[in-house]
């Protein structure tokens, strides 16, 4: 039994690719077989995020056009053999992708993997034009806790329902515990109530992302709050009743606020 997740957003830059890559890695590390499909044609990034940028030979468009087999285009992550990536094309455009072929590819990936995670491009038209109608089990809308992002998410919701995609669950990204506590940022609960969507997860704003990026690594390779957030979301994706962290309900302890400590790598 395989589950395909579509990660979408209205506004760009809210963390779709980051969330897709880290959830894929966490699920693969927990022993699940995972395929990531980079559907951001022309602006691929998951190959770089997963450390595979020098290994790309064929891509999604090559498979869709029949220029290679799916197995030839699929890359496996060296230290995570159960994680595979189908990279996006670098020099094509989203209109070059035949939707029927995309659906076929998703179904082929589902035959071989427990989880198929699809990273959508941002934007209403570009992002969801080529999207699938009946082949994804879960749609996940990623938002940051600000009015513009929420407004764009509302518009995306309309498009998602027009396309008869599953009603999304929500991941609220870049939350700041203390700002929520002092009522200077919306909590994930507020965003979820405004959009009337159930929460799949909450991810804090975390400087560990910058450090990980500079080292060409994933943030989940390090002990940090963001990693804990991804572990909780992955738990929920695998049917566990992991509680939401509810950032902002109390202030972080003094020492945690002022002395974050050195970033330690997760041992394998
Ligand atoms: N919780 C977070 N804390 C700190 N930085 C973050 C967080 N989430 C994402 N970022 C950073 O935000 C930037 C944008 O993330 P990402 O590329 O994943 O967004 P995206 O939604 O895929 O963008 P696009 O719409 O262009 O595809 C990246 O530099 C990433 O490291
Ligand atoms: Mg992206």
Question: Backbone phi, then psi, for 124, in 5-degree steps?
Answer: -65, -55
- The answer to whether residue 94 scores a pLDDT higher than 80 is no
Pocket test for ligand 1, best of 6, 9, 10, 13 (most atoms within 8 A of CB): 13
Sorted by where each starts, the structural domains of the chain and their CATH numbers stand as 3-265 (3.40.50.300)
Ligand that comes closest to the CA of residue 122: 1
Nearest atom, ligand 1, residue 205 CA:
3
Coil/strand/helix, residue 244: coil
CA distances from 52 to 25, 44, 74 (A): 13, 12, 11
Per-residue pLDDT, 91: 81
> What pLDDT, on the 0 to 100 scale, is given for residue 127?
53
For the ranges 2-6, 160-164, 176-180, 237-241, which has the lowest average pLDDT? 160-164
- Counting from 1 in the atom list of ligand 1, the atom nearest the Cα of 13 is 23
What pLDDT band is residue 151 in, cutting at 50, 70 and 90?
A: very high
pLDDT 10s digits, 31-63: 999 999 998 887 889 999 999 989 999 999 999
Residue closest via CA to ligand 1's atom 25 equals 12
Model pTM score: 0.94
CA–CA separation, 246 and 237 (whole Å): 18
Ligand 2 centre to CA of 122 (Å) is 7
Q: Which CA distances in Å does 206 have to 41, 62, 203, 211, 226?
A: 28, 37, 8, 10, 6
206 lines ligand 1 (CB under 6 A): yes
């Amino acid at each position: 039994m395989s589950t395909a997740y579509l990660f979408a957003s209205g506004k760009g830059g809210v963390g779709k690719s980051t969330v897709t890559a880290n959830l894929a890695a966490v699920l693969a590390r927990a022993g699940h077989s995972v395929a990531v499909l980079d559907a951001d044609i022309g602006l691929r990034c998951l190959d770089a995020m997963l450390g595979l940028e020098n290994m790309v030979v064929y891509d999604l468009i090559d498979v869709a056009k029949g220029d290679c087999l799916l197995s030839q285009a699929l890359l496996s992550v060296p230290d995570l053999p159960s994680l595979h990536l189908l990279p996006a094309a670098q020099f094509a455009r989203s209109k070059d992708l035949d939707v029927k072929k995309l659906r076929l590819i998703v179904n082929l990936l589902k035959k071989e993997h427990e989880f198929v995670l699809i990273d959508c491009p941002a934007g209403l038209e570009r992002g969801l034009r080529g999207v699938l109608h009946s082949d994804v089990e879960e749609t996940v809308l990623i938002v940051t806790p600000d009015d513009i992002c929420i407004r764009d998410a509302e518009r995306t919701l309309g498009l998602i329902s027009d396309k008869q995609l599953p009603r999304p669950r929500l991941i609220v990204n870049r939350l700041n515990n203390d700002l929520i506590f002092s009522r200077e940022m919306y909590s994930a609960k507020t965003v979820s109530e405004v959009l009337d969507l159930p929460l799949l997860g909450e991810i804090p704003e975390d400087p560990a992302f910058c450090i990980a990026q500079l080292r060409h690594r994933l943030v989940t390779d390090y002990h940090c709050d963001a990693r804990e957030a991804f572990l909780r979301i992955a738990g929920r994706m695998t049917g566990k009743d992991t509680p939401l962290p509810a950032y902002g309900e109390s202030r972080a302890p003094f020492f945690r606020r002022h002395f974050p400590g050195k970033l330690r790598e997760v041992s394998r």
